[in-house]
Structure 1
Amino acid sequence: MNTISFAGLGIEEPLLSRLADFGISEPSPVQAESIPAALSGRDVLAQSQTGTGKTLAYLLPVLQQMNPEEKALQGVILAPTQELAMQIYREAEKYGEPLGVGVQALIGGAAIKRQLERLRQHPQLVVGTPGRIREIQALRKIKLHTVRTVVVDEVDQMFQLGGTADVEHILRGTLRERQLMFLSATINEEIRSLAAKEMKDPVEIGIEPEQRTAKSLEHIYFITEERDKIDMLRRVIRHYDPARTIVFINHTDHISEVEAKMNYLGLHAGALYGDADKTVRAATLRRFREGKIRVLVASDIAARGLDIEDLDLVVNLDPPPDTEHYVHRVGRTARMGRKGLAVSIISAKEQFIIRKFSRELRIQISLREMYAGNVIKPDSVSSGRRKAVKGAGRASEGRSATASKSSSHQVTSGQGLPRKGAENKAGISTAASGSRSVTKRLGPGSVKGDNRTSKKNDQDRKNKGAPRWLKDKQNKG
C-alpha cells in the first residue's frame, strides 16, 4: 500500500525540507484530508481529536499560498486564548521563515504599543486573539480588506468564551471572496449555524467523529474522600513519576492552594490561570517546557490547546464541567499517536460524572485503587486482602499449634514442675503450699469452699467503717 506523503498532498519546497528538519515525514489523517481542500481554496469545517496535527493541517496550505513579495496582510489566524495564539505564532514563524513570510502576533495582555510598531513591517500573516485584533482594528492601525484567508482554531472554545461577536466583526472586514476554515475537536449546532452563515459550500471533515479522544490514551479514575484528594494526587504522581504533569482545577481560587501544597511536597509546581499576567503565564509555560516545573496546576481557559512535548500524564483533580472539557483536558497528552494517561480523582458522590463521560464519549474509564504502593484493579485489592487475611489466619493457627505442642512437650518432660525429692528438702509439698495460700486468703480457721466462712468474711467487709456501737451489736448477735 502506498503511503501518503506531504508532497503527494501538494506541499512544495521549502516546506517539505522544513518538515523533514523537524522529523515529520507522514501526514496525519486530518492533515491528509484538510490540506488538499485548503490548497484548492475551499472553505473547511474540520473536526478531529486534539493532538492529531490540526495546526499544520491549516498552517501549511495558508503559508504556501501567500505571496511574500506583497507587503500587505493576506491571512488571519484566530485563537481563543493567549497561550494557544502564542503556540500557533511560534509554529507559523518556524515554517514561514524559509518562505520569507512575515508573521505578527497580536495577543491580548501584551503591550499594544510594541505590537503597533511591529505592524509597520507589513506582515503577511497575523496570529492573535479576536479581542486584541478588534481593538487594533478600532484604532485604524490594521486593514483587513486585503485578507484572503481566515482560520478560527478551537472554534467551540471561541463560543464558550464569548468571542463570537468579535469573530463576526473581523470577518465582515475581510474580502467577500475570502477563504474560511473552522477547526475544533468538537463541533456543535452553534458552530454549524455560523459556518452555514459565513461559508460557501464548505468541505466537512470528520476524522472518526465518534472517537473524540486518542486511541493511544488510557483513562482511569480513583475514588477518595474530598479532604484526601491532594494526598491521592501526590501518590499518583509519585507512582507514575512522569517528567511533566498537568493538573486541572475548576476554580481559580483553589489553584494557588494546590500549587503551594505540591511545592511543599517537593514536586516543583507552577500555576497557570486566565487572570494571571501574560508575562508571568509565558514564563511559567517556558519553565514547564524546559522541565524546571514538574507539575502545572491550570484552569481550563489557560491550558486550552496547549501542545507540550513529553507530557505523559493529565490529572483532573476536579471533574470537568462536561464532556467537551474532558476531551480538551485529556487531549493535552497522547498527541500524534504517542501514549498517554488521563487520571481523574473524584469523591464517591462524583462517580456518576465519570459514568456519564464514559457513556457519551464511548470510552472505557476504569476504576483503580492504590494498594501497598501499587495501582491495581479493585478486585485485585479484595483478592490481596483475602490472601493477607488467610495468610494471617494460617500464621495464627501455626503459632497456636506450635504453642500447644511446646506446652505438651513441657508437661511430658516434666519441665516447670518440682524435681523429685524437692518436697522433702523444702519440708512441704506443692499441694500443701497451695493449701496454706488458700487458708491465708480466706482467714484463720477457714476451709476452702465453706459457705459460713464466706458469709462471715462478706459481713466483715460490709461492717468496715461502721460505728463502734453497731459493730458491737452485730458481734453480739
Structure 2
Amino acid sequence: MEGQKSKRKSTTSSTSTSTSGSGAPVLPWMRDPIDITTFDQCPLKLLPFLDPRLEEALQKMGISSLFPVQLAAWQETIGPGSFERDLCINSPTGSGKTLAYALPIVQMLSTRAVKCLRALVVLPTRDLALQVKDVFAALAPAVGLSVGLAIGQSSIADEISQLIKKPKLEAGICYDPEDVVQKFQSSVDILVATPGRLMDHISNTKGFTLEHLSFLVVDETDRLLREAYQSWLPTVLQVAQCCNNNFFPSAGSYASTFGSLRTIRRNGVERGFKGKLYPRLVKMVLSATLTQDPGKLAQLDLHHPLFLTTGEKRYQLPDQLKSFKVICESKLKPLYLVALLQSLQGEKCIVFTSSVESTHRLCTLLNFFDDLNFEIKEYSRLQRQSVRSKTLKAFRAGEIRVLVSSDAMTRGMDVEEVRNVINYDMPPYIKTYIHRAGRTARAGKSGCCFTLLHKDEVKRFKKLLQKADNNSCPLYHIPPQSVESHRSIYTSALEKLKESVESEVHRKRKALV
C-alpha cells in the first residue's frame, strides 16, 4: 500500500461554496479530491485487514484483485480512521463501484453479531437493485449476514414476511399491540431498496425501523436527487438520525487494534451521553456523473465529505471504449442500423432509442426483417418486471444477441460480454452518452459505441463529446450496397409495422370500452 496515500484537505464544512473559473459554484471539498487513477489493482492477498471469509467469497465470485476505485474506497473505510468522513465517489461506469461499497460495509457489519437493519442501499430502478442485491448476497452469508430486497417485485405482504420476524405469541394471552410491535425483529442486516417501496415500508410496515441504521448508500446519486420519489431522502435522514443509536465495532475488534473510538461530531456538535458513543449515520454516494450542484448535494447532509474521482475530468468514458459515428440518410436510418448489426456479426449489442415508444416500434420493425439470423428483443419500463427480468436473463445467457432499449438500461446495469452499444437516437446530454456507452468496455475490457447521426447532427454531437474531452470519434463506414440490399425487405417491414401499430391501438381502445 506504499505510495497509495492520498492528499487530504483539512476538515471543512460541506455547505460553504466557492466559485470555479466558469462561474459555477463549487464546494471546497470537491476541489481537492483523491485521484482514483493513482491507485493500481491490488491482489486480495495484499489487501490489509480483509476478513479471510470474505477473501474466500470473493474468489468464488471470480475476483482475485480489487480495481482502483475499490481499493481507494477500502483504504478510506477500513483501518485507522475508518468511516471518519462520508464518501462521494465519481467513477466511470464499469469501474466496479458496487463492490467498492459492498465489501467494506459487509466487513464492518460482520464485526458484531446483532440481527437488525444496519445498512440501507437505495437505487433508482428494480433491475439495478436486483443486480446490487446479488453482489451483497455473494458476500454477506460468508460472515453470517443476510440481505433483503424491497423493490415491489412481489406483493408487500411477501416482502414483509422476508424482512420482518414476528414474535411467537402464546395462545390465550392478551398482549398490548404496542408491546408486540416492539418485539418485532429485522430478518435482514442489509436492505437493498427502491425509494417508492422503501417509503411504503417506512410508513406502513409494523416492526420496520431504521433506528439501528449505520450505513446509507445512495447509488446513482444524481438521478435519485433529481427525482423526488415521495421525499424518500429527507424521510430516511430524519427517521434514522432522530433515533439513531448505532453500533460500532466492539472492544476486541477494530477498536482494540486502532485505539479507542473518538466521539463523533454531528452538525458540528460532539455527540455522547454518560460516556456512551452515538456514532453518526455513515453515507456513501456514488455515480458515474456525480452532480456538483451545492443545492442538490446539501440534501444529503454529508459529514465532512471526502471526494474520490478519476483525475480532473468531471465526465470520463471507460479507458477501453472506442467511439464511432455513422452518418446516415434520415429516411433510411433503420437500414443503416440493420447493416451495422450485420457487420458486427452477431456480437452482443444494446441499441438505445430516445423513448419507450421508439424502443417498441424499432424492435417490432427489426423483427420483420426475415434475413436477420439473431434474436432481437426490447427492454423498457413499459414492460412488466417479470418480462424485463426474463429478457435480461436471456440476454445475459446469450440467447438474445441484440437488445433494443430505452434509457432504463443505462444506469449501472452490468451485462457481461456486451461488445457494442449503438445509439440509434443521438443522446441529448453528455451524461446520457456516458451512461449508455458504459454498458460496454466494463471492468477493463474493450468495447465500441456507435452513434447514428443525420448530417445536421454531426456538429452538435462533436460538441457533446468534447464535454468528456473526447475528440476522437472516427467515421464508421457502412458500404452503400449493404444498405441497398435490404431496401425491398424494409418496404415490406414498414407495411407490417403499420399494421401492427394499428392492431395494437385497436386492442387498447377495445380494452378501454
Q: Same fold (TM over 0.5)?
A: yes
Distance 2:467 2:407 in 1: 20
Distance in 2, Cα, partners of 1:16 & 1:279: 34
Query: Higher RCO, 1 or 2 (CA under 8 Å, sep at least 6)?
Result: 2
Task: Say whether the 8 Å CA contact 1:319–1:353 is kept in structure 2.
Answer: no
Tell me the CA shift for residue 229 of structure 1: 1.5
Q: CA RMSD in A?
A: 2.2
Q: Which residue of 2 aligns with 1:98?
A: 142
Q: Which residue of 2 aligns with 1:37?
A: 76
1:201-254 Cα distance to aligned partner (Å, 9 max, x none): 111101235261011100001111222121111111111124311111111111
Q: 1:340 to 1:164 in 2, by over 3 A?
A: farther
Q: In structure 2, what residue type is equivalent to 1:19?
A: L
1:139-154 aligned within 5 A = 139-141=204-206, 142-154=208-220
| Structure with the largest fraction of helix | 1
Q: Which runs of 5+ in 1 are unaligned?
A: 376-477
Q: Check whether the contact 2:322–2:448 (CA below 8 A) recurs between aligned residues.
A: yes
2:291/2:297 contact within 8 Å kept: no
How far apart, in 2, do the equivalents of 1:269 and 1:9 lie? 46
Question: Is the 1:11–1:60 contact (alpha carbons within 8 Å) kept by the matching residues of 2?
Answer: no
**The residue matched to 1:83 in structure 2 has which SS?**
helix
Shift of 1:193: 4.3
Cα displacement (A) at 1:45: 0.5
Assess, with a 3 A threshold, how the Cα gap between structure 1 residues 164 and 27 changes in structure 2: closer, same or farther: farther
Please list the CA deviations of residues 142-167 of structure 1 after superposition, one character each: whole Å capped at 9, or x if unmatched: 21111100001110121333338212
CA contact (8 A) 1:29 1:207 kept: no
Shift of 1:187: 1.8
User: In the aligned structure 1, how far is the partner of 2:407 from the partner of 2:473?
Assistant: 21
User: How does the TM-score come out when normalised to structure 2?
Assistant: 0.69
Deviation digits for residues 75-102 of structure 1, max 9, x if unmatched?
0001111111110011111111212211
Question: How far apart are the structure 1 equivalents of 2:311 and 2:292?
Answer: 18
TM-aligned CA deviation for residue 56 of structure 1: 0.4
Q: Which secondary structure does the structure 2 equivalent of 1:180 belong to?
A: strand
Secondary structure of 1:343 counterpart = strand
Query: Quick one: which amino acid aligns to residue 145 of structure 1?
Result: E
The within-5 A match list for 1:199-210 is 199-210=302-313
TM-score (norm 1): 0.74
Per-residue deviation, 1:195: 5.0
1:5 and 2:43 correspond: yes
Q: 1:263-289 CA deviation, whole Å, 9 max, x = no partner?
A: 223331111112321111111111111
Q: Deviations over 1:141-198 (max 9, x none)?
A: 3211111000011101213333382122222221451100000011223367425751
Question: Is the 1:76–1:151 Cα contact (8 Å) retained in structure 2?
Answer: yes
Is 2:333 the counterpart of 1:229? yes
Q: SS in structure 2 opposite 1:351? A: helix
Percent of aligned pairs sharing the same letter: 28
Contact 2:219 2:286 in 1 (8 A): yes
| Contact 1:217–1:342 under 8 Å retained in 2 | yes
**Matched residues in 2 for 1:162 and 1:184: separation?**
17
Moved more, 210-219 or 49-58: 210-219
Describe the shift of the 1:228–1:352 C-alpha distance in structure 2 as closer, same or farther (beyond 3 A).
Answer: same
Give, in angstroms, the shift of residue 109 of structure 1. 4.6
- When residues 249 and 9 of structure 1 are mapped into structure 2, their CA distance, relative to the original with a 3 A threshold, is farther
Give the one of 200, 209, 212 matched to 1:135: 200
Q: 2:476 maps to which residue?
A: 368
Query: How many aligned positions are there?
Result: 375
Q: Of 405, 422, 426, which residue of structure 2 is paired with 1:319?
A: 426
User: What is the match of residue 265 of structure 2?
Assistant: none
1:186 counterpart = 2:186 = no
How far apart in 1 are the matches of 2:141 and 2:224? 28
- Listed one character per residue, the Cα deviations across residues 101-155 of structure 1 (whole Å, up to 9, x for unaligned) are 1101101353222111111251000001011101111103321111100001110
Q: 1:161 to 1:193 in 2, by over 3 A?
A: closer
Write the mapping of 1:78-117 to structure 2, written as runs, cut at 5 A: 78-117=122-161
- Shift of the 320–83 alpha-carbon distance from structure 1 to 2, 3 Å rule, reads same
1:298 maps to 405
Q: Is residue 9–residue 35 contact of structure 1 (8 Å, CA) maintained in 2?
A: no
Alpha-carbon deviations, 1:362-407, whole Å to 9, x = none?
A: 11222222127799xxxxxxxxxxxxxxxxxxxxxxxxxxxxxxxx
Distance in 2, matches of 1:119 and 1:352, equals 52
Unaligned runs of 5+ in 2: 3-40, 166-186, 245-279, 484-513
Give 1:264's aligned residue: 368
Q: Which amino acid aligns with 2:213?
A: V
Bigger Rg, which one: 1
Task: Return the alpha-carbon distance in structure 2 between the equivalents of residues 242 and 58 of structure 1.
Answer: 35
Match of 1:52 among 95, 100, 119: 95
> 1:296 is paired with a residue of what secondary structure?
strand
What is residue 251 of structure 2 aligned with on the other side?
Answer: none
- Amino acid of the residue matched to residue 43 of structure 1? D
Pair 1:275-2:341 in alignment: no
Whole-angstrom CA distance in 2 between matches of 1:209 and 1:110:
43
Name the SS for the 2:407 alignment partner: coil
Deviation at 1:69, TM superposition (A): 2.9
Q: 2:121 touches 2:191 (CA, 8 Å); kept in 1?
A: yes
Q: 1:242 and 1:159 mapped to 2: Cα distance?
A: 38
Question: Structure 1 CA distance, aligned partners of 2:75 and 2:299?
Answer: 21
- 1:24 alignment partner in structure 2: 63
State how far apart, in whole Å, the 2-side matches of 1:288 and 1:197 are.
36
Taking the aligned partners of 1:321 and 1:9, their CA distance within structure 2 comes to: 44
